[in-house]
Amino acid sequence: MEPQVIPASAVRDDVWIPSACSLCYGTCSIVAHRVDGVLVKIEGNPESAVGKGRLCGKGVSGLMTHYDPNRVRVPLRRTNPVKGIGVDPGWKEISWDEALDEIAQRLRKLRNDDPRRLFIQRTTTVTSSRTPIQVFAAAFGTPNRSSVGGGLHCGNGAHLISGLMHASWSVVPDFQYCNYAVYFGASKGHSAGHASCSNMGLAAEARARGMKMVVVDPMCNFAAAKATEWVPIRVGTDAALALSMCNVMVNELGIYDAPYLRAKTNAPYLIGPDKLYVRDPESGKPLVWDLSLRKAQPYDAVKAQEMALEREFEVNGLLCSPAFQILKTHLKKFTPEWAEAITTIPAANIRRLGTEFAREARVGSTIVIDGVTLPYRPVAAIAFRGSQGHMNSLYNVLAVDLLNQLVGSADMAGGCLGFNPACHGHPETGRPAYIPKAGPDGMMVAGMWLEHDFPYPIKSPRKPERMGLQDLFVMAQSSPFPYSSDRGQLWDTLHLPYRPEVLLNYGANALMSIANKETVAQALSQFKFIISIDLFLTESSDFADIVLPDCDYLESLDSRANFPFLFNLPGGMGEWCWPIKQPTVQPDGQQRRSSDILIELADRIGMREDLNAAFNAVLKLEGPFRLEGDRKYSYEEICDADLKTNFGPDRGLEWFKKNGVIKWRKKPEEVYWRHFVDVRVPIYWEFLPVLREKIAAIAEPRGVKIPQGYYEPLPDWVPCVSHEENNPGYDLYAFYYRDIIHTNSFTMENPWLDEAARLDPYSYTIAINAATAHGKGLGDGDEVWVETHRGRRVKGKVHLTQAIHPEGVGIAACAGHWGDEMPVAKGKGVFFNDLLEVDFDHASPVNLNLDLCVKVKVSKAAEVRR
């Protein structure tokens, strides 16, 4: 690698520029120090609530990614028509005009033929890429988008349940007031991601204050290392533990928040023998049993305190019970002794955890915050990436959230908070304002969502028109099927009326982030044309026909660095904060901002008016700030309109460039909104059996089976594929975890982060329990194969530790680059995803979550013969 010479600048300056990080999706606020045209330092922005002046090691290392000489700086066109793993594309440099002309010509024709043939995928790391891509897709007319591995592995369970139960994208303990937090495969406040730097400070203060943190995880990792107690659990069995804890609380101790359940959930709704609501014949509304009138009434005609939660009643000749009674009975089988066999956690510990959670919840207590009296439930059960990365993700995460619902800690002081589900808006403009509201059957509809396809009301399934089949499997956000080994067969079977032709990729490395590379490579090879907007030439860029050089975050502009607030603005009391991302330096080559590329393409395709309409709709531009007709707008003008719509004509882009952020104080009525808003959430998912029937009516006549066990209205223990495999010798469960030093596959090229990872004993190794390893004759540093019974295998060096479950094999993702164009990243770490199958059999039949745990054997590399 030649040392890069940064040309002397004629500009003499010494400035600190407020902007936003994009080394992970946390998007913490930064200030970038530029001296004479060169960036010399990046720090956290102390003015912003996003990070509060703190910045993690990734953020401060952004300089090294920015100045990496291996960045793509010119448009490229492949000359080699053959595509494959490790095949040289034969890149030649072309001009921007030539690149955009060809792309626009192809897309224009495609749009006229069938716009659905365009598939757009993006990296989750650059949070602000969501809006321009969402807009472009809507204007173009394609329903096919993907957030690739970062999205697929992350949230089909976690974000779905957070949306349905908390009106938010994710959940976090109310750090300021929580006394007891149980983390299930989560690390909020101890690693990257949503509001990461802010959460790190809040979590540290909470621990210093005495908050007890229990971390349930197969590995004693970033969160568990700081916890009061680490509970090693067999991979993917979180539902078993959580359901058993619920049983202890409800049936052994009799501790639950009855008033909350009556008023804020469907616990009192009467359920008939068909597992469905008993409904009022006239209005169709679900009925509850009115204890004072001794009869069934529509749920909104009865005061909450009069609603029965238990017993059996006869209504119109049918025996029925409140949903809570059914839940209570359902929970009885999940004894701690039963759960021990599944989770390997001793029954006594399970009983203790359930007891501690119930008692610490202080059901019935109140607290005064900023002069407002609120229910006080200082316990939180948090599930995220670890517990959701399985076929049984829906029940795993739902069972965990049931803990919060049973004690009434959901979005209450001290409890489990959604990230900012309600906002009353800036005091001067009243914007952005949103609040959850009651929808069908009184169930909560989120006030804001990252997309316009809200998790509730549940959509009606139909014959699929989307490549990912999400319009059939309507509980799924992300889908593995654009990449799966059986995608063609599924599309044929389910009569997808077209086949994808063109892939537009923004920054994602699908070959490394989804599953085994052979299957994904086949999927990529079938596209007739691939456009990739990249910072670096990745393993996936090798499949592109045209690569366009992207500006990085230090060169880019966006008005929505941390909006919607429910994604990565800190939850809990404090401040609302709207930062922007702005260029801190000009690009040093021919790089262009992806937002500008998309606007230019829209022009060349002939859809400028559609793009303007989509921007108006997505950004909710109003009044004089709405984009007009087919007038051409720069992205600066669009960002300016966005900011002025929300904060008034005097606070446009120039104001934000100077000031960086706008802040105002949160109110208890916003943070603890659930106490003030008349909405309910489903602890009994009555819609699931009905949904299964509708999906099965479409899928099963075409040979696609929809198993009933995933569609029951109450969470249950459903094993993953790995739990049911009993091949001799394959006795360990391999899983991956998101390293705190790296962001997916992106940051391994950063030399500072690579150096930190090489110093860390775990980042590039295979973690295995020391006693287990000794039993297999393995020593620390031995090179091993980790292999599935299907023959997929990865090689790496083991690190022996007591900090992992005896059955666990932990690998930090997404290492193992093999491409030549990221020389720092090449050859570092282990490519865990190569162990993963991607097909219908390894995806949840309810929310399409990919199964990310695999049963493996581990053996010394020298011993394996092929």
Partner 1 sequence: MKTVSRVHRDKIVLVKVRLFGILSLLANERLVALDMAEGATLGDVLTKLGGRFGREFTDRILRVLGEMHSYCQVFVNNTQVSDLDMELKANGSAAEVGMILLMASDGG
Chain positions contacting partner 1, by CB under 8 A: 25, 111, 115, 120-122, 124, 130, 133-134, 137-147, 150-152, 154-156, 159, 169, 449-454, 457, 459-460, 462, 466, 470, 477-478, 609-610, 613-614, 616-618, 620, 622-623, 626
C-alpha 471/C-alpha 468 separation (Å) is: 8
- What amino acid occupies position 134? Q
DSSP state of 299: G
Shortest spacing between CB 681 and partner 1, in angstroms? 18
Shortest spacing between CB 422 and partner 1, in angstroms? 18
Strands (E), 355-422: 366-369, 372-375, 379-383, 416-418
**Closer residue to partner 1 in complex, CB, 147/722:** 147
Q: Bin 324: left if φ > 0, else alpha if -120 < ψ < 50, else beta.
A: alpha
Q: Are the C-beta atoms of 464 and 496 separated by less than 8 Å? A: yes
C-alpha 30/C-alpha 95 separation (Å) is: 34
- What amino acid occupies position 132? P
Strands 783-787, 854-860: pairing is antiparallel
Shortest spacing between CB 764 and partner 1, in angstroms? 27
Shortest spacing between CB 553 and partner 1, in angstroms? 17
Shortest spacing between CB 610 and partner 1, in angstroms? 5
Shortest spacing between CB 621 and partner 1, in angstroms? 9
- Token pair recorded at residue 428: 């001067």
Shortest spacing between CB 626 and partner 1, in angstroms? 6
Shortest spacing between CB 476 and partner 1, in angstroms? 8
Shortest spacing between CB 388 and partner 1, in angstroms? 12
C-alpha 515/C-alpha 139 separation (Å) is: 31
Beta bridge partners of 795: 785
C-alpha 67/C-alpha 824 separation (Å) is: 13
Shortest spacing between CB 629 and partner 1, in angstroms? 9
**Closer residue to partner 1 in complex, CB, 169/717:** 169
**Closer residue to partner 1 in complex, CB, 101/622:** 622
Half-sphere exposure of 739 (CA within 13 A, CB side): 33
Beta bridge partners of 116: none
Q: Are the C-beta atoms of 507 and 495 separated by less than 8 Å? A: no
Shortest spacing between CB 135 and partner 1, in angstroms? 9
**Closer residue to partner 1 in complex, CB, 466/793:** 466
C-alpha 584/C-alpha 321 separation (Å) is: 62
Strands 661-665, 783-787: pairing is unpaired
E strand or H helix at 132, and its extent? Answer: helix 130-140
CB atoms within 10 A of CB 795: 16
C-alpha 851/C-alpha 23 separation (Å) is: 27
Shortest spacing between CB 757 and partner 1, in angstroms? 25
- Token pair recorded at residue 598: 């998309």
Q: How far is CA 215 from CA 159, 187, 245, 386, in A?
A: 20, 8, 14, 11
For 781-790, letters b (16+ CB in 10 Å) and e give: ebebbbbbee
Q: Bin 483: left if φ > 0, else alpha if -120 < ψ < 50, else beta.
A: alpha
E strand or H helix at 669, and its extent? Answer: helix 668-671
**Closer residue to partner 1 in complex, CB, 142/392:** 142
C-alpha 660/C-alpha 663 separation (Å) is: 10
**Closer residue to partner 1 in complex, CB, 477/540:** 477
**Closer residue to partner 1 in complex, CB, 258/613:** 613
**Closer residue to partner 1 in complex, CB, 152/219:** 152
**Closer residue to partner 1 in complex, CB, 361/467:** 467
Shortest spacing between CB 155 and partner 1, in angstroms? 6
**Closer residue to partner 1 in complex, CB, 457/827:** 457
C-alpha 172/C-alpha 380 separation (Å) is: 8
Q: 117, 134, 87: which is closest to 482 by C-alpha?
A: 117
- Token pair recorded at residue 365: 């207590």
**Closer residue to partner 1 in complex, CB, 491/733:** 491
Shortest spacing between CB 299 and partner 1, in angstroms? 20
**Closer residue to partner 1 in complex, CB, 436/587:** 436
Shortest spacing between CB 449 and partner 1, in angstroms? 8
C-alpha 34/C-alpha 583 separation (Å) is: 11
C-alpha 758/C-alpha 414 separation (Å) is: 39
Q: State phi, psi for 524 to the nearest 5 degrees.
A: -65, -35
Give the list of residues 6+ apart from residue 221 with CB closer than 8 angstroms, or none.
187, 737, 803, 810
**Closer residue to partner 1 in complex, CB, 213/391:** 391
**Closer residue to partner 1 in complex, CB, 340/610:** 610
Q: Are the C-beta atoms of 148 and 174 separated by less than 8 Å? A: no
**Closer residue to partner 1 in complex, CB, 604/626:** 626
Max distance between CA atoms of the chain, in angstroms, equals 88
Shortest spacing between CB 146 and partner 1, in angstroms? 5
**Closer residue to partner 1 in complex, CB, 71/385:** 385
**Closer residue to partner 1 in complex, CB, 124/187:** 124
**Closer residue to partner 1 in complex, CB, 491/717:** 491
E strand or H helix at 664, and its extent? Answer: strand 661-665
Shortest spacing between CB 710 and partner 1, in angstroms? 19
Shortest spacing between CB 180 and partner 1, in angstroms? 29
Listed as own residue / partner, the contacts of 706-711 with beta carbons closer than 8 Å and 24 or more positions apart are: 706/845, 707/845, 710/392, 710/394, 710/395, 710/844, 710/845, 710/846, 711/846
Q: Are the C-beta atoms of 168 and 420 separated by less than 8 Å? A: yes
Give the list of residues 6+ apart from residue 125 with CB closer than 8 angstroms, or none.
22, 23, 24, 25, 150, 507, 743, 744, 746
